[in-house]
Structure 1
């Protein structure tokens, strides 16, 4: 999904935490871009060297109070709500009610929350909602992004256009978010080989043996499987 995979995560780590950032937010132009995957992978990478926390702020507003998480940014004992993830880091996920969500819209309060958490954790990765979310989210990306020390934007190759990326960047800059860079998710950017295999699959019933040989040839041809 991430092209060079681990190298992508390492590049993000070196450009953010490797440069002294302690709170790094991951957002995207649109929902479904793989932000949560990258955020978790980055938290796992951080945990190899220091104690890391993944703060999930990308979920929608809780449908009913019973589904809501019990913490808000102003809680003094907020670290007590964190839970251990099987991948080694701790996680703190927010799904507030509409009333609780207002407490997340104060950048100063969110930054103060991060400062308290940094007394316990060395590195914090923040899983943010998209700049252009598919549905209404509880925690607007701009408020929390402004409280981070570095912000990475994920865009989808083949779907996100330059104007949409520029628009998202402008929204974040106007909010005072410290943009660090862009990560390209090439999930929808097919190689020539993938396109050829997809087309050949339509003839698998007519000539299965020929199609199998063709697919095998395409898969073994490096130039046809290089992302543009």
Structure 2
């Protein structure tokens, strides 16, 4: 059973950890790609690209197909997703209760751009939990996850060394970013887009997560015990 020290900072990913957004995001990406003749289901997008930036998805299909996706592909996806957020986006179960009872300093570091992150937090009632000084997005770095830059920036701004932090991530992309930054990671598999929790758990462990859980109510106990069960 891996042991962890009590962290000075918990860094939450947003999509798939705080809010159940990957189903919506994957649907928008699938529909947008379809407009350019690339047919891929929303579930396939979620399984292959959860945790990727929209720019990274655009670049992947530019290389993998003969389709020349537009430079503003990411902006198209961003604006469409933001338009759906107020009516469709929900928090993950028990996240507000968990944050309210969490006896640790915490913040959010998301591969979403700033506007989308702010919209997600505002529409789901999470903005008060994450004031501006506790919000970090891919807009703030040149190289987003899986590069370690966003996590390193977050630790620097929060005045905590990477060794004193703990990250909660739902994708191998996010886990790899945290590991690259020298931060311990818990993997979360409770989001709606995860069709095979066992397989996803193995992917997160292989990427470097020291523990995996599927219910936010477990987090406080895992931290309190100082262990990853």
TM-score (norm 1): 0.32
Bigger Rg over Cα: 1
If each structure's helix is expressed as a fraction of its own residues, which one has the higher value? 2
